[in-house]
Structure 1
Amino acid sequence: MKLSSAEGAKLLKKLKSEYDALKSKESISSTFLASVGENPESVRPKYDYKDAKAELDSLALKIRKLKHAINLFNTTTVIPGYDITIDEMLVFIPQLSAKKQKLSEMASRLPKAREEQEYGRASNIIDYRYVNYDIDEVTKDLLAVTDELSDAQLALDLINHSAIFEVEL
């Protein structure tokens, strides 16, 4: 079966959902209650341990194979223009996001701001917090990181939708 990474991720999600539903169904139907005097056969749910086990094992194997194929794809596929693999990009993007968040906080600060007094602190002294950096420089860096993050996400999206790998399920 040939898939893109995006298709593989959707199929993996579907297989996991099927697996969870089957486990839930097994949990509900593998035991049952019957009242005293009630014929247990009249309330016995349909359940076959061997069939349920075989279906769960089959789904678990498909999930393992697909997840492995996706992992191999992610560790061997290089993203054009970045010269890093998908798995490296999956680390790089959160790093850029954290950097963007930090720069955003720094860029939004005032050059001088009155420090809020802590609860219960009685003092006539007014404290001011001053930035110790160039806000314009931080703002420029923020714009650059925002663009870099957007470009990285687009490059990852493109390869996840266009590059194909093969898996035998």
Structure 2
Amino acid sequence: MKYTSAQANKLLKKLNDEYSALLDKEQRSRDFRAAMGEDIESVRPAYDYAKTQARLEELEGALRRLKHAINRFNTTQVVDGFGITIDEMLVYIPQLTKRKSKLLEMKSRLPKERVEEQYGRQSNIIDYTYTNYDLAAVEADYEKTSDELSRAQLALDTVNQRDSFEFCE
């Protein structure tokens, strides 16, 4: 069956949720307590060891195959307008995000700011912090980086929604 990356990731989440729920259910039902004199069979939770293990193995196999299919798609599918693969884009976007955050902090500075505290205590000495860069250049780089980040995110969203790959459950 053909899946887009977005669909495959939804399926991956569903399989992971089912796997976690089954592990949790097994944890709560594989052993139990009963009080002295209590009818053990009346408090025994339903648990089929063989059936549970078989389903867990089935889910593990499906998860491995699906993750592999997604990884292959991510390492071979080129993102339009960028000339890089999805897996490279998944590194590039956090790099842009980090750069944008740094530039935001830098562009928010005043050219000269008074330092109120020094080493955690008040001081009679007045210190100033000066920017050692061109604020206009930083603002321009911030806008450029912000635009590039938006363009990269939209391009990745597009390829994840449009292009598909084969996966057999």
Fold in common (TM above 0.5): yes
- Does residue 87 of structure 2 align to residue 87 of structure 1? yes
Query: Per-residue deviation at 1:40?
Result: 1.0
- Does residue 61 of structure 2 align to residue 71 of structure 1? no
Q: 53-62 or 31-40, which moves further after superposition? A: 31-40
Where 2:116 maps in the other structure, the secondary structure is coil
CA RMSD of aligned residues (A): 1.0
Count of aligned pairs between the two proteins:
168
C-alpha offsets along residues 26-48 of structure 1, whole Å, 9 cap, x if unaligned? 11111111111112112111111
Matches within 5 A, 1:76-115: 76-115=76-115
**Counting strand residues as a fraction of each chain, which structure ranks higher?**
2
Query: Per-residue deviation at 1:24?
Result: 0.7
Matches within 5 A, 1:26-37: 26-37=26-37
Where 1:28 maps in the other structure, the secondary structure is helix
Question: Which residue pairs with 1:120 in the alignment?
Answer: 121
The residue identity in structure 2 corresponding to 1:139 is E
Contact 2:116 2:122 in 1 (8 A): no
TM-score (norm 1): 0.96
The residue identity in structure 2 corresponding to 1:165 is F
The list of structure 1 runs, each at least 4 consecutive aligned residues, that deviate by more than 4 angstroms after superposition, is none
Question: Which residue pairs with 1:131 in the alignment?
Answer: 131
Question: Which residue pairs with 2:3 in the alignment?
Answer: 3
How far, CA to CA, are the matches of 1:31 and 1:53 in structure 2? 15
The residue identity in structure 2 corresponding to 1:7 is Q
Question: Which residue pairs with 2:41 in the alignment?
Answer: 41
How far, CA to CA, are the matches of 2:59 and 2:121 in structure 1? 60
TM-score (norm 2): 0.96
C-alpha offsets along residues 33-91 of structure 1, whole Å, 9 cap, x if unaligned? 11111121121111110000001111111111101100000001011111100000000
How far, CA to CA, are the matches of 2:87 and 2:52 in structure 1? 35
Contact 2:32 2:45 in 1 (8 A): yes
How far, CA to CA, are the matches of 2:42 and 2:137 in structure 1? 77
Gaps of 5+ in 2: none
